[in-house]
Amino acid sequence: MTELDSSDPDVEPERPLTPREELAEFVAGQEGRIGDVFTLTGDGLGARDIAERLNVDTPGFVYQYQAYANAALDGLVPQSPTTLKQALSALNGLVKRGSGTLSPAAFELLKTNRARVLAAREEVDPELEAREDLEAERTEQNQIGGLRGLAGIYAFSYGWYLESPLDPEGDNTLIKVGKARDVAGRIEEHRRGARAHIPEPLVTIRVYVGARDLDKTERDFHRLLSTAGHRNPRREEYARRMRNEVGKEWFLTNRAFLDAIATALDLRTVYAE
């Protein structure tokens, strides 16, 4: 068998990708929810089918990640101040990962679309944003309240950490990962403590449940985070030998990595912010 001659007039040369097509391939190849949701949406699945495929109870997160992808590819600006803020964070991460990977044209398209989202973010009415943040907090509390009595693994952080990642290159920020026999009750305990000592809202990021032993699941979750180098950099080395050291359940990590661990441990997501 002889190789096809690229100079053969009967052989149609491969068409180069447009910047948007290249950017779409880049988004589809991202690890975590944005890549999964974008790919499954392209396969024609609806929000509920995507949620079921990704082992998540509710489909609300699908619409969020679709908005992030639309912003990245076409500069479409989300109308909700909260989604707009989250979309900008997602685009910042894509720009960091796309530098040196995307072609100049595709990278410029991504930066242009991010600039549109950034400009819209700077025009948001502070009062409208504050009202929406308050409503989002109430909605979260109602949803978490619905998990009363449920045992599982929870992850939460605070507003400033989520808006200003401590490790911008990797999109990592400080997130607390723990276990509870009553997830809703434990998160409420933390929320009450935060109101007294921290001038930032507590944000529940994930709640996972599974059939595995809860204590072992938490140990495995923490072990995988630590092995990947996602330890809390603010913990003093000497304090790690103490029984009640501060910050032992805090990790410098991100949502996508939490979801990857949950998948590896065969956990189901019952709450995703």
Q: Where in the chain are the domains? A: 19-124, 136-272
Closest to 177 in 3D by CA, of 228, 233, 232, 242? 232
The amino acid present at 265, given as its one-letter code, is: L
Distance CA 57, CA 67 (A): 20
pTM for the predicted model, two decimal places: 0.82
What separation, in Å, do the N-terminal and C-terminal C-alpha atoms of the chain show?
Answer: 56
Distance CA 266, CA 259 (A): 10
Contacts of 107 (CB under 8 A, 6+ apart): 95, 98, 99
Q: What is the pLDDT of residue 12?
A: 66
Q: What is the pLDDT of residue 2?
A: 46
> Is-contact 207 156, C-beta < 8 A?
no
Query: What is the residue-level pLDDT of the chain in tens, covering all 273 positions?
Result: 444 455 566 666 788 999 999 999 999 999 889 999 999 999 999 999 999 999 999 999 999 999 999 999 999 999 999 899 889 989 998 999 999 999 999 999 999 999 999 999 999 888 888 888 888 888 888 888 899 999 999 999 988 888 777 776 667 899 999 999 999 999 999 888 776 667 778 899 999 999 999 999 999 999 999 999 999 887 655 455 555 455 689 999 999 899 999 999 999 999 988
Instruction: Please state the φ and ψ torsions of residue 262, each to the nearest 5 degrees.
Output: -60, -40
Contacts of 68 (CB under 8 A, 6+ apart): 34, 86, 87, 90, 91
Distance CA 191, CA 233 (A): 23
Burial class, 95, CB count within 10 angstroms (exposed 0-12 / middle 13-18 / buried 19+)? middle
Distance CA 176, CA 157 (A): 6
Instruction: Please state the φ and ψ torsions of residue 124, each to the nearest 5 degrees.
Output: -65, 135
Map 21-78 to HEC letters: HHHHHHHHCCCCHHHHHHHHHHCCCCHHHHHHHCCECCCHHHHHHHHHHHHHHHCCCC
